[in-house]
Structure 1
Amino acid sequence: MTDGPSTGEDGSGDRRLVSGWNGRFYEDFSVGDIYKHPYGRTVTETDNVWFTNLTMNLNPMHFNEAYAAETEFGERLVDGTFVIALAVGMSVIDVSANATANLGYDDVRHHAPVFHGDTLFAESEVVEKRPSESREHVGMVTTELRTYNQNDDLVLSLERTPMVLKRSHADPSPAQPTGWPEDVGTQPEDLG
């Protein structure tokens, strides 16, 4: 860590606001593109117990070890709706950070069970896009979301269709990125 301003590659010590990732806008999507979402996520027992209780899922397969031990799986399974929520959440950074609404989740398939301690990875493939006929500021993007465990087993697939802002109707800036209120944090005038 330095005491003063950092020195850039050009040798200057000027501070500046730099745009971070603002997500994709409608124009950024092309059919056939595949986004491997960053960061795998290990599913814990706590995740499963909390989610099962929160959603009142009374299937003992998720919370009763003695019961689950007598099933074909020999242990508790992670609640499938948690797997869906986690996979969709993992995809937001690439697919729907600029969505104004999610229009649907279709063709949901659980291909393999998920157990405590599994690490999940998700990717999305753009399968369709079209501009909205009723809202000029957005378009619909349909992706196939696929989720794998650490052994490369496909555990979940689904299609989802968010309504995504067009770039011309969004105005993120380094001083006010998406989701930040106006005039919060460092502003250009602060860099003097």
Structure 2
Amino acid sequence: MARSTEVKDSRIVQGWTGRLFEDFAVGDIYYHPFGKTVTQADNQQFTLMTQNVAKTHVDANFAKSTEFGLPLVNSTFTLALVTGQSTIDLSMNVFANMGWDEVRMPHPVYEGDTIYSRSKVLSVRGSASRPHLGLVTVATEGFNQDGAIVISYRRTFMVYRQGHLPSTASSRPDESSLPAVEVQA
């Protein structure tokens, strides 16, 4: 393989670093960019990891005899998945989650469903006890490949204000100490 030194006229482009408190406005709607097709392995592993003994998640033969006819995906997996999907837009710079409220599961999730999500900002306010933080409340919905809402909830989290985000510089090498980027011909 041929190697060359750093390409002339290159520039270092900052990757997405997430929103800070001042970036949120009431009424903003975010369609989160990632979907996830839920597999049988996802459902069984999460169910067993959390010691959920409901047969409807792990016993396909039992599930056949229910009105659903198929294994149901663990509802707390769905909550975790949709919360995770929202992180890129909402809480990359979270200080702490304050709570999930009004969690509803209006439609079942089955193995093989693909889940997508969106969130709407409901409120933003500064923290009285921690002036370097703000509180954001969102309404989030997860929906399947057919557009059926499978979960909805409200979530409140504390997020850093501009100028108060802890530095990540100490957790990775200084860019100036790295060798030049090499390009393969």
Could you tell me the TM-score, scaled by structure 2's length? Answer: 0.90
Matches within 5 A, 1:178-189: 180-182=168-170, 184-185=172-173, 187-188=175-176
- CA deviation after TM superposition for structure 1 residue 39, in Å: 1.3
Equivalent position to 1:142, from 116, 122, 137 = 137
Seen in structure 2, the aligned counterparts of structure 1 residues 71 and 190 have a Cα distance that, compared at 3 Å, is: closer
How many pairs align?
179
- CA deviation after TM superposition for structure 1 residue 152, in Å: 0.4
Q: 1:36-74, CA deviations, whole angstroms, 9 ceiling, x for partnerless residues?
A: 111100000000000110111111110111110011111
Matches within 5 A, 1:7-26: 13-26=8-21
Check if 1:156 corresponds to 2:151: yes
Equivalent residue, structure 2, for 1:64: 59
Equivalent residue, structure 1, for 2:68: 73
Q: 1:112-150, CA deviations, whole angstroms, 9 ceiling, x for partnerless residues?
A: 000011000011110011000011100000001100000
Indicate if the aligned counterparts of 1:132 and 1:138 stay in contact, CA closer than 8 A. Answer: yes
Query: Following the alignment from structure 2 to structure 1, what is the Cα–Cα distance between the partners of residues 165 and 66?
Result: 52
Seen in structure 2, the aligned counterparts of structure 1 residues 156 and 191 have a Cα distance that, compared at 3 Å, is: same
Query: Following the alignment from structure 1 to structure 2, what is the Cα–Cα distance between the partners of residues 59 and 191?
Result: 53
Query: Following the alignment from structure 1 to structure 2, what is the Cα–Cα distance between the partners of residues 145 and 155?
Result: 11
Check if 1:39 corresponds to 2:27: no
Indicate if the aligned counterparts of 1:15 and 1:191 stay in contact, CA closer than 8 A. Answer: no
Aligned letter for 1:75?
L
Query: Following the alignment from structure 1 to structure 2, what is the Cα–Cα distance between the partners of residues 191 and 44?
Result: 41
Equivalent position to 2:85, from 90, 94, 99 = 90
Indicate if the aligned counterparts of 1:42 and 1:117 stay in contact, CA closer than 8 A. Answer: yes
Query: Following the alignment from structure 2 to structure 1, what is the Cα–Cα distance between the partners of residues 33 and 98?
Result: 24
RCO (CA 8 Å, sep 6+): is it higher in 1 or 2?
A: 2
Query: Following the alignment from structure 1 to structure 2, what is the Cα–Cα distance between the partners of residues 120 and 31?
Result: 25
Check if 1:165 corresponds to 2:142: no
Indicate if the aligned counterparts of 1:148 and 1:154 stay in contact, CA closer than 8 A. Answer: yes
Equivalent residue, structure 2, for 1:10: none
Aligned letter for 1:134?
S
Gaps of 5+ in 2: 181-185
Aligned letter for 1:83?
T
Q: 1:141-169, CA deviations, whole angstroms, 9 ceiling, x for partnerless residues?
A: 00011000000000000010110000121
Gaps of 5+ in 1: 7-12, 173-179
Q: CA RMSD in A?
A: 1.9
Seen in structure 2, the aligned counterparts of structure 1 residues 51 and 168 have a Cα distance that, compared at 3 Å, is: same
Could you tell me the TM-score, scaled by structure 1's length? Answer: 0.87
Seen in structure 2, the aligned counterparts of structure 1 residues 28 and 68 have a Cα distance that, compared at 3 Å, is: same
